[in-house]
Amino acid sequence: MSCWLTKGVHEPRPIHPDLCHALGWLFPCGPVVGIVSMSHNPFANWTQEMVDLHNARVTRHAPKMDKELEQKQIEAYQKQAKQMPAPKKRIRQNPKPLMNKLELEAMTWLGGQYPIEELHCQAIRFRLGNGVHFTPDIVCLTHGTPLAWEVKGPWATDDAIVKLKMAATVWPHIHWFLIWKESGQWQQQLILSDNFHA
């Protein structure tokens, strides 16, 4: 049995060529990465020098693998790895950031306007009707009156504006704002509800 040995914190152990193939190593007589400890190991008292001499001897007498066969084995292992199903995730999570660049800038600017308040991004989903919901970009609940901001760029869809107006009517105890950037300066407009009285 020709094999490579490793010496480290644990005991060295010869690795059978069939086990190398089972673990996905291409060369049965090549270096084995890692240490496998075992009881009653006859190589337990070997020094690192003895291990190196053994590995050098095995390398000299190891048969050379055909390059074409080696490439085929590599491709076979890569294909097998791709076919393995991805592990299922128990908890569904969204890895994407909650805010885009413009919304992050708005959050920073509002943080300067309300330094002692707590601002939250997309934290609350408001029900506007049967099957209709709206989630503002930024909310503040620590202020005397709850505040909510919707951040928009140069172009805003009618759907977004309509939902913002509906939110101001359905949730009148919250102050709703449209916030945008114009000529490098942030602007905001209070959205009036149907029962708003100046």
Q: Give residue-wise pLDDT tens across range 109-124.
A: 999 998 888 999 999 9
18 or 53, higher pLDDT: 53
Q: What is the mean pLDDT of residues 158-179?
A: 92
Confidence of residue 34 (pLDDT cuts 50, 70, 90): very low
- More confident site: 69 or 176: 176
Highest mean pLDDT among 5-19, 29-43, 149-163: 149-163
Say how far apart CA 6 and CA 12 lie, in whole Å. 5
Is the model's pLDDT at 25 over the cut of 70?
Answer: no
Higher pLDDT, 110 or 78: 110
Closest C-alpha among 121, 96, 98 to residue 110: 121
Quick one: pLDDT band at residue 68, thresholds 50, 70, 90?
confident
**Residue 7 confidence class, pLDDT cut points 50, 70, 90:** very low
CA distance 32 to 128: 63
CB 28 within 8 A of CB 65: no
pLDDT at residue 99 in the model: 85
- Give residue 24's pLDDT: 44
Give residues with Cβ within 8 angstroms of 103, minimum separation 6.
121, 137, 138, 151
Phi–psi pair at 188, nearest 5 degrees: -140, 150
**pLDDT score recorded for residue 62:** 59
Taking the C-alpha atoms of residue 99 and residue 97, their distance in angstroms, rounded to an integer, is: 6
According to the model, what pLDDT value does residue 12 have? 44
What domains are there in the chain, each with its CATH number? Answer: 17-83 (no CATH), 101-191 (3.40.1350.10)
Q: pTM of this prediction?
A: 0.53
Return the higher-pLDDT residue of 64 and 88: 88
Tell which wins on pLDDT, 15 or 150.
150
Rounded to the nearest integer, the mean pLDDT of the chain is 75
